[in-house]
Amino acid sequence: MNIGIAPTDEAVAKFTELKFQHKHSFIVFKIINDKEIVVDHEGDKTKTFADLKSSLPPNEPRYLINNHDYVIEGATRTKIFLILYSPTTTKVRQRMLYASAKNTVKSAFDGIQNELDVDESFREEDLTEKATRI
């Protein structure tokens, strides 16, 4: 469902940098004015999952694109995740807005390999578990 909210050109360009040039370990996006999805902030390749988690607001949802590295059978693999972060304290209207625009984000960011909906209790292991499911 298209609800009129779309990523900006800058947001799409940042995703492309993550996907092809591997410049970022994560990018955090937010909706502004109920109509645009913009870059909130990004983490370069030196940033960790702990950095990502500590950068998230306690009461507001965000979209996260995470270039998640994990090890399986001794080999390091990477998957690009779309994560809908919605803390338990998020207002219902915001929660619904972000949930309804998620498919638009997924369509705009071609190359997402996995998705996950989480709250503030999510762990890096949740990503690895989802990435390794067959």
CB 104 within 8 A of CB 6: yes
How do beta strands 114-118 and 36-44 pair?
Answer: unpaired
CB 35 within 8 A of CB 5: yes
Please name the amino acid found at residue 114.
Answer: N
Q: Establish if 1 belongs to a structural domain.
A: no
Tell me which residue range forms the domain holding 96: 6-132
Q: Establish if 91 belongs to a structural domain.
A: yes
Q: List CB contacts of 21: < 8 A, sequence separation 6 or more.
A: none
Q: Establish if 72 belongs to a structural domain.
A: yes
pTM (predicted TM-score): 0.93
| Number of domains the chain contains | 1
Q: Establish if 23 belongs to a structural domain.
A: yes
Tally Cβ neighbours within 10 Å of residue 72.
10
pLDDT in tens, the chain (134 residues): 557 899 999 999 999 999 999 999 999 999 999 999 999 999 999 999 999 999 999 999 999 999 999 998 899 999 999 999 999 999 999 999 999 999 999 999 999 999 999 999 999 999 999 998 85
CATH of the domain at 66: 3.40.20.10
